[in-house]
Amino acid sequence: MLSANEQRVTMVGDAGGLSDTISAIATPQGRGGIGIIRISGSQAVDIALALCNRNQPFSPRFAHFHHWYDAKGDTIDHGLTIYFAGSNSYTGEDTVELQAHGSPVLLQALFERTLELGCKAAEPGEFTRRAVEHGKIDLSQAEAVVACIDAATLRAAKQAQKQLDGAFGRRISQYMDDLTSVVAHVEACLDFPEDEVPELFYDQLHTRVETDLIQPIEQQLNSKLGERLFEGATVAIIGEPNVGKSSLLNTLSGRDRAIVTDIAGTTRDTLEVDFEVNGIPIRLVDTAGLRTTNDIVEQEGVKRAKSAAETADIIIFVADAARSETWNPEDHFKDLYIHLKVMNKIDVADVTPPSDFLAVSIKSESGLDALVETIAKQLGDFDLADESAMVTSSRHRIALQTSLAHIQAGLDMLGREEMIDLTAMEWRRAWSTLGEILGIGDVEFILDKVFSEFCIGK
Ligand SMILES: Nc1nc2c(ncn2[C@@H]2O[C@H](COP(=O)(O)OP(=O)(O)OP(=O)(O)O)[C@@H](O)[C@H]2O)c(=O)[nH]1
Ligand SMILES: [Mg+2]
């Protein structure tokens, strides 16, 4: 078994079949100040020289001002041509970027000219895929590129950048190197008769697998914050009529979105508003007050409120401090887990709410900071000491879970001589499952799937 790094270097040699030079409009569709065409591959420089009608080579990383010509020699557009040589480029192969005017028609004409000159139109994510296949970045870093672009909040974007810097990938590589080492150790036992392997040897190996692999992987898996940062979370506000649900939605989101009156039954439909808590994107759902009614519109509202609660990631149950009959979620939900119970209107009632309630007054804005912090905690914030290890996608979570199961299965058999082969096999499986995260090994189908979610030009 090679180390994760050795394996990556081997892949550079494997990166045959990439002789096509690709091109794409890399900036988003529509008009803009600047539009960029990206060309990558062995013919990139020749194609760019032909486009510029130029004989002299380009200086790498130098902005050359040029006109770009069509087949008849007429100017299509003019702008900057920048050449990135081989291993110093994003893709790991010769790349040329044309910074043109952001006119969709001119960009299209320029792009079509690159095709005439021998480029192939790039597939979605093909530039980044080449970067992975040339060993410039690992697959988790490639995914971080998309995460960075798609991030809805600054915190999510910063987290994606940490992954792009390779912190997460390095952690996975470390696990893989640890596995390589422990496999080597168990295999060494095969060369000795059973009674010559000291008891201590297995104990030490056991401790090592526990502390270097099982515990840190479990810790990583325990927090769902990473996925929440990118996928967001739905928070439903439920409770009886007139307790202040709509007021809470307006206050938390900072928008006067829902109608608030002192008439019980004001909200009749579900209503959603997006905001963020500590950089975690949240969809907040206000619902109709829960009560038995003959009004068919309100009946439908109550039905929708219940279904919003059932599908939410977090349920906030709001009660009115002055009306103890509103304090029991069990009156409406038998089996639903309520994540957060809020006792509102403590400004008007001199009561001590049950200890599982958080006392607030939306009117006098008291207790709201604690409420926001509790929501963040419920979403997994503050769980991780080292956030660079955060699991940010379900693909990584599944791979880590599967790998952990193999590590544990191997560990359970450790110490029984007849099982040594099986232990080594389980740990090798754990190794290749971790390799899938980085795009190492026989992972063509994984690459196809991951890169199909990219945009063209990236
Ligand atoms: N005194 C006091 N009144 C509040 C507080 N929060 C909300 N209210 C008032 O309570 C009334 C009901 O508020 P809403 O936000 O409409 O209550 P709701 O739970 O959405 O009610 P429905 O839509 O009917 O289910 C309004 O008159 C609010 O101004 C609070 O903290 N203190
Ligand atoms: Mg309401």
Q: Which residues in 252-287 are b (16+ Cβ under 10 Å) and which e?
A: bbeeebbebeeeebbbbebbebebbbbbbbbebbbb
Q: For position 217, what pLDDT does the model report?
A: 96
Using alpha carbons, list the distances in angstroms from residue 383 to 132, 219, 221, 277, 400.
Answer: 31, 9, 11, 15, 18
The whole-angstrom separation of Cα 50 and Cα 42 is 14
Token pair for residue 444?
Answer: 């063509």
pLDDT tens for 330-353 read 999 888 899 999 999 999 988 888
- For the Cβ of 289 lying below 6 angstroms from any atom of ligand 1, the answer is yes
- The owner of tokens 């709410």 is 353
Residue 78's contacts (CB-CB under 8 Å, 6 or more residues apart) are 65, 66, 67, 68, 100
* DSSP-derived 3-state class of residue 294: coil
Q: What are phi and psi of 278, to 5 degrees?
A: 50, 40
The class of domain 229-378 in CATH terms is alpha beta
The whole-angstrom separation of Cα 40 and Cα 53 is 19
Q: For position 197, what pLDDT does the model report?
A: 65
The class of domain 8-138 in CATH terms is alpha beta
Residue 112 burial by Cβ neighbours in a 10 Å radius (0-12, 13-18, 19+)? middle
- The per-residue DSSP string of 15-67 comes to --S----EEEE-SPSS-EEEEEEEEESTTHHHHHHHHHT--SPPPBT-EEEEE
Q: Which atom of ligand 1 is nearest to the CA of 268?
A: 23
Q: For position 454, what pLDDT does the model report?
A: 79
pTM, entire model: 0.81
- For the Cβ of 268 lying below 6 angstroms from any atom of ligand 1, the answer is no
Closest-CA residue, ligand 1 atom 11, reads 262
- Provide the CB-side half-sphere exposure for 219 (13 A, CA): 15
> In angstroms, how far apart are the furthest CA atoms of the chain?
86
Domain ranges of the chain: 8-138, 148-223+387-438, 229-378
Residue 174's contacts (CB-CB under 8 Å, 6 or more residues apart) are none
- For the Cβ of 287 lying below 6 angstroms from any atom of ligand 1, the answer is no
The whole-angstrom separation of Cα 365 and Cα 346 is 10
pLDDT tens for 61-73 read 999 999 999 999 9
Q: For position 380, what pLDDT does the model report?
A: 84
Q: Please tell me the distance between residue 263's alpha carbon and the centre of ligand 1 in angstroms.
A: 9
In CATH, which superfamily holds the domain spanning 148-223+387-438? tRNA modification GTPase MnmE domain 2 (1.20.120.430)
The whole-angstrom separation of Cα 231 and Cα 280 is 9
Q: For position 421, what pLDDT does the model report?
A: 85
**Which ligand has the minimum distance to the alpha carbon of residue 366?**
1
Q: Which atom of ligand 1 is nearest to the CA of 242?
A: 21
% helix / strand / coil in the chain, to the nearest 5?
A: 50, 15, 35
Token pair for residue 86?
Answer: 């081989």
Q: Which residues in 337-357 are b (16+ Cβ under 10 Å) and which e?
A: eebbbbbbbbeebeeebeeeb
- Provide the CB-side half-sphere exposure for 180 (13 A, CA): 16
- Provide the CB-side half-sphere exposure for 444 (13 A, CA): 2
Low-confidence ranges of the chain (pLDDT < 70): 1-19, 192-198, 384-385
Q: Please tell me the distance between residue 443's alpha carbon and the centre of ligand 1 in angstroms.
A: 55
Name which of 26, 45, 44, 43 is nearest 35 in CA terms: 26
Q: For position 456, what pLDDT does the model report?
A: 76
Token pair for residue 232?
Answer: 């967001």
* DSSP-derived 3-state class of residue 68: strand
The whole-angstrom separation of Cα 148 and Cα 200 is 47
Q: Please tell me the distance between residue 308's alpha carbon and the centre of ligand 1 in angstroms.
A: 20
* DSSP-derived 3-state class of residue 200: helix
Q: How many CB atoms lie within 10 A of CB 365?
A: 11
The whole-angstrom separation of Cα 321 and Cα 343 is 6
**Which ligand has the minimum distance to the alpha carbon of residue 343?**
1
Residues 367-372: contacts with CB within 8 Å, 24+ apart?
A: 368/251, 368/252, 371/252, 371/340, 371/342, 372/252, 372/277, 372/278
Q: Going by DSSP bridges, is the β-strand pair 271-277/280-286 parallel, antiparallel, or unpaired?
A: antiparallel
**Which ligand has the minimum distance to the alpha carbon of residue 348?**
1
